[in-house]
Each structure stands twice: as C-alpha cells, then as structure tokens.
Chains A and B, each alone.
Chain A
Amino acid sequence: MEPLVRCNHLTKYYGRFPALNDVSFLINPGRIVGLLGPNGSGKTTLIKIMNSLVTPTSGEILIQGEKPDVRSKARISYLPDKLFFNEFMTVDELMAYYEDFYVDFDGDRAFELFKDLHIDTSSRIKSLSKGTQEKVQLIMIMSREAKLYILDEPIGGVDPAARDYILNTIISNYNPEASIILSTHLISDIERILDDCMFLKNGRLILYNSAEALRQERGMSIDEIFREVFRC
C-alpha cells in the first residue's frame, strides 16, 4: 500500500540558508504524527512545501503517490498558524465559501461544533476574540473529510479548557484512512495523542519513531526527550 506521504531527500534553500536539508520519511494512513522542533528548524517550510505554497530546491514530496497539485489539495486540510480568512466575512459566509470549493466539507458538523463552543455564526470574524478566531479556523479545517490534516500550532493561543476540547475533537475524528500532522511546541499537552514523533533540527530529520517506543527506550516523556535533544 502506497504510504500517504512520502518525502524523498527534500531540500530547500533560502539564499544560502538551508531551511530543509535532505529530509526523507514516510507517513502511513491512520497515524497521528507530531512534527517537533524549535523555531527555525524547518517545520513551517516542510508544511508549506506539502501544501505547494513554496517550491523545493531539490527532492520531492508525494501525497498518495502524486506530486502536490490541485488533486492533492482537495485531500489535504491545512490549518496555518496565522489568521488566514478574510476578516470581513461572517462565519456563515465562510461556511458557504468552503461548501463552494471543497466537496468534502461537512457544513452540518461544522455548525454543530460552533454551537458546542457557543460561537454565533452570524458574527463577523473581525469581531471575535483571537482565541475564538483560532477555534473557528480549527473547526473549519476539522470539518473536512480529508486524507491528510496538517495542523500548525493548533492549540497555541487557546485557553486550557478549549485545548482539551480541541484535542478531544482530534481524537474523536480519528479515521484509520487519514493521518494528522501536528506541528507544535506544546509537547506535554499533546504527546499522549501522538502515534509517532518527528524531530527536526536545523532542517534535518534527526529522530523519527513511535512515541511509545521512545518512552520505552529512554524512560522519558517526549517533552523531556525534546528538552534534551534541543538543549540550548
């Protein structure tokens, strides 16, 4: 079976600076993968390349065996770490927009999630608090029936209660045919929901193993391993 994501010797230079350096890995369906590393380790560059927002210098990345293009975009649901919607839209208008362009968008489910979090769908995104805006973005992303979810810092600016709700949503939406890539600093909060961990340092993939195997081998939590590996 073709892995969901296959990365072969991916390299990206910005001028003379290698943001990504000979990165290779594969991700099978049904896995929740943590993409872990400090700022500047190449996580965001890797994610951008997967979403064809940036072209690599050399190497390739394949989504379900194909290069990233219009077809793969329909199967990837990406949550960037910044606000990327037009602030003047209302949540309802945003849902209509998604309905128009994404065949796999489940508007009913999104509406239910908005109700659960007491978000008024007729309000303009601009009028919502930052935390609420982030929840709106997350709900839109998770309401798609995609094959690959890429979440860049999904719980960063969110309060602990909402954090639990978000992690719960991610677990409840688990689909053995889809995979989730979670890029984050807040490792101790999310490490229990990870299957596998990818450690990126200075653009290189230095460690890729299952979370449980790492715990067994080193007798440490993933958070502790991270602190050790990236010690300043």
Chain B
Amino acid sequence: MAWKLNSSKPIYLQLIGILKSQIVSGQYAPGEKLKSVRDLAAEAGVNPNTMQKALAGLEDEGLIYTNRTSGRYVTEDEDILQQIRSENAGGLILDFLKSMQNMGFTKDDIFQLLEHHMNTQIHSVSLNQEED
C-alpha cells in the first residue's frame, strides 16, 4: 500500500519526514540496511528519482550513510537519533498544547489531566508500543 502523501507539496520533503519517523520509531534498527531506492520507491508509490533525492536529504542530516559497495544504512549514532526523537516529540507536544489551549484548559488543568491519563492509560500505552 502506497504511503499517504499530499500531492500539493513537494514529495521529497514529505518522504524525508516519513522516513525520519520510521527510523526514530524503531521500524529500522540502528545500523540496519535500507532497501534499494527502487524497492523503497515502489513501496512508497513514488518516482525513484524523488526517493533518491529524499535519501540524499537524509544523508545530509546524518540519519543515513552510504557504503559504496553495499548500500544505504541507518546511522548508529544514538545522539542524532535522540535529537530527531526530541524534535518529533517537540512537534507533537506543541500541537497538543495548541489544541488544549483552544479548548480553554489552563496550565494546571493540563498537568492534572496528563497525570490522570498517564496513570490509568499506562497499560494500554505500553501494549501499543509492543504491537509496533
């Protein structure tokens, strides 16, 4: 099944975003070999040259590296991975806070709700992680 993409925006930027999420969410282990450009492009349902450009972008950011003879690999550098994770988390938290503020919650309300949900939801949350 092709990846969900918005055709109104440059595709290669979206591909970079999706691949980043895949890497930091653990779909690829650190140091794991990536599929070939063609196979990735076929999986995503996009032009191979566009996928190539996205991979080059990831390489620039240090998330993947190319071994000339054997292909592309995910970085083993935990610092970079952690940095990306933090960036992603920051983005998610920002969106969450905006939504909560729109509904009219104060800072204290938000903390209380968070604590409550994390305590009761902790089991289902960890279950979800295992499924991933």
Contact = CB atoms under 8 A, between A and B. Distances in A.
Interface of A: 30-32, 164, 167-168, 171-172, 174, 188, 191-195, 211-212, 215-216, 219-224
A156 B53 CA distance: 30
B2 interface: yes
Nearest to A224: B8
Contacts of B45: 164, 167-168, 171, 192-193
B47 A32 contact: yes
7 shortest interchain CB distances as A-B pairs = A221-B7, A221-B8, A171-B42, A174-B48, A192-B46, A193-B47, A172-B42
A215 B10 contact: yes
A216 B11 CA distance: 10
Interface string B1-33: 010011111111000000000000000000000
A174 B5 contact: no
Contact of A212 (B2, B5, B12, B42): B12
23 contacts: A32-B49, A164-B45, A168-B45, A171-B38, A171-B45, A192-B5, A192-B11, A192-B46, A192-B47, A192-B50, A193-B45, A195-B47, A195-B50, A211-B11, A212-B10, A212-B11, A212-B53, A215-B10, A215-B11, A220-B8, A221-B6, A221-B8, A222-B7
Given A220-B8, A224-B8, A174 B38 contact: yes
Given A168-B45, A192-B47, A223 B7 contact: yes
B58 interface: no
B41 interface: yes
Contacts of B41: 171, 174
A194 B9 CA distance: 14
B127 to A, nearest CB: 32
Interface string B32-60: 00000011011001111110010000000
A192 B49 CA distance: 11
Contacts of A215: 7-11
Nearest to A191: B7
A133 B41 CA distance: 27
Nearest to A193: B47
Contacts of A221: 6-8
A212 to B, nearest CB: 5
A174 B41 CA distance: 10
A146 B12 CA distance: 28
B40 to A, nearest CB: 10
Given A171-B45, A212-B10, 7 more contacts: A164-B45, A168-B45, A171-B41, A171-B48, A212-B11, A215-B7, A220-B8
